[in-house]
Amino acid sequence: MQPILRCRCHQVARVCGLIAAVFGVESVALGQRGPAVVTVSAVVERPVAEGQTFVGTVTPVRRSVVGSAVDGRVAEFPINQGDLVHKGQPLAQLLTETIGLELSAARSELKLREEELQELKNGSRPEELRRVKAAMLAAEAVADYQRKRLTRAKELFERTAINDDEMQLVVSEATRAEQEYQQALEVHALAVAGPRPEQIAQAQARVAMQQAITEKLSDQLGKHTIKAPFNGYVVAEFTEVGQWLARGEHVAEVIAVDEVDIVAQVLENQAPYVRPGQHVRVEVPALPGRILTGAVFAIVPQADLRSRTFPVLVRVKNSLTDSGPLLKSGMLARVTLPTGPPTDALLVPKDALVLGGLQSSVYVVLAGAGEKPATVRPVPVILGVANGGLIQVTGDVKPGDQVVVRGNERLRPGQEVKVTQVISVDESQSVEGTPAAAKTDAGTRGEASSESGK
């Protein structure tokens, strides 16, 4: 037993020695790094409305159950549930062979009608004008000859050199020649004038009718490709390749989550204190260590008659990643809404909050004595309502205390710091969201996002 005890003691001593060596090296390294560089802002006291936390549900801003506009058989269905789709991207393709042939025939017919209209607009060709003019001149020559022949025949008839039948034959031929000449004159005039305006209008109407038929077939052909109405995610499928779709039958359901609404139910005696555009704090239990801010988008003016509560919509800007949206439809959320008259409260910039532990906290800067550098002290706080980029806090802080808003990701209690910049609360709100996104560190720092009401 004694050798075994000595062996275990020896192992424990070695482990203790390694731990001491590690912490000793770390302490030396910390001592050699010098003060941490930080940016601070002051705690301010401002009037804010009393707040209360409500349970809500994340809902998409837009949801569309996309249906088929025509009857047809599904030839392609390239999407799957959960896919990200973009506006105009095909969700399903129906068979189009028959309507494609009809469209081709309609386009050929339209081309024929257009050429007929152009032919009328161009009028007679020069060769045609020369031909009818020549025919007119020939008819004129014949008519002139017959007129002279008739004159001679009259003289002979008066001298009884020709009989009555011969005279009537000459008169008849002269009359026919005169009529043929008049006909040639009219043909020449019509050729020079060109088509009548009514003929051109009729041709234009035929072109317009055929154009409408072609566009109708093109529209029907386009409806055979069912497309996404906006950017979003496919959350449901209702068909598959080979299935026959009737007009109006569902194909897929798409939701847009670049922005989401948190729908919370507010009691009727609390609803008057909620106003559109108010900035509020949002917490999602499924996303611990993150703080979000949104804006009240609308208070639906229709209460649930059983609970006497009004739906309040809080619009929050979502974050889209390669693995999908940060806030997903149906998630549970807690929204802190104003539910009472304004009272004085302590506010800190949202970037001053350090999350991820058992309780939220802020690092308060303590001035150093003499030439000693300043240090920081963690102060646990309870969060309240949001006011723009500021968050109400309750804890061991007072107005004018300086809290770290940048560089607080790796601070430790009592660590020496060097303040390089002091920004006002208004400046901290103007850069809201930017520092917080860069401050996420292994889940210990919250990601902030805000969205103004529309």
Burial (CB count within 10 angstroms: exposed 0-12, middle 13-18, buried 19+), residue 334:
middle
Are 282 and 410 part of one and the same domain? yes
Written as six digits, the tokens of 366 are 């303590």
Asked whether residue 55 is domain-assigned, the answer is: yes
Give the three-class secondary structure for 453. Answer: coil
| Alpha-carbon distances of 432 from 85, 425, 448, 450, rounded to whole Å | 30, 10, 8, 8
Q: What is the 3-state secondary structure (H, E, C) of 422-449?
A: EECHHHHHHCCCHHHHHCCCCCCCCCCC
Q: Indicate if 267 and 413 belong to the same structural domain.
A: yes
- 13 within domain boundaries: no
Answer yes or no: are the C-beta atoms of 139 and 174 closer than 8 Å.
Answer: no
Residues listed for the chain = 454
Q: Which two tokens stand for residue 451?
A: 């969205």
90 domain residue, yes or no: yes
Q: Which of 235, 255, 275 is the last residue of a domain?
A: 255
Helix (H) or strand (E) holding 13: helix 2-33
Please report the sign of the dihedral spanned by the C-alpha atoms of residue 95, residue 97, residue 101, residue 102. negative
Residues 90 and 129 in one domain: no
DSSP 279-324: EEEEE-TTSTT--EEEEEEEE-S--BTTTTEEEEEEEEE--EETTE
Specify if 360 maps to a domain.
Answer: yes
Q: Based on the domain organization, do 282 and 419 belong to the same domain?
A: yes
CATH number at residue 339: 2.40.30.170
Q: Structurally, how many domains does the chain consist of? A: 3
Structural domain includes residue 129: yes
Based on the domain organization, do 109 and 193 belong to the same domain? yes
Joined tokens for residue 370: 């003499």
Both 147 and 122 in a single domain?
yes
Is residue 91 in some structural domain? Answer: yes
**Residue 338 shares a structural domain with residue 376:** yes
Q: Does 407 map to a domain?
A: yes
Residue 293 and residue 197 share a domain:
no
Q: Tell me how far apart the alpha carbons of residues 61 and 231 are, in angstroms, rounded to a whole number.
A: 12
- Residue 363: its pLDDT value, please? 93
- Assess if residue 351 is contained within a domain: yes
| Tokens coding 413 | 């209690």
* Residue 68, domain CATH: 2.40.50.100
Strand-pairing partners, residue 392, are 347
What pLDDT does 291 receive?
78
DSSP H or E stretch at residue 201 = helix 197-223
Q: Are residues 285 and 334 in the same domain?
A: yes
Amino acid residing at 372: K
Which of 219, 244, 267 is the C-terminal boundary of a domain?
219
10-residue mean pLDDT series, the chain (454 residues): 42 44 41 76 86 92 95 95 94 94 95 93 88 93 93 89 90 94 91 88 95 94 94 95 95 95 93 90 86 91 92 94 90 90 86 81 87 89 82 90 89 89 72 36 34 34
The verdict on 156 and 189 lying in the same domain is yes
**C-alpha to C-alpha distance for 386 and 448, rounded to whole angstroms:** 12
Answer with the one of 219, 234, 269 that is the final residue of a domain: 219
Instruction: Answer yes or no: do 311 and 388 share one domain.
Output: yes
First to last CA, the chain: 78
Same domain, 247 and 266: no
φ, ψ at 2 (rounded to 5°): -65, -45
β-bridge mates for residue 354, sequence order: 361
The CA distance from 353 to 338, in Å, is 21
**Domain of 75, in residue numbers:** 62-95+224-255
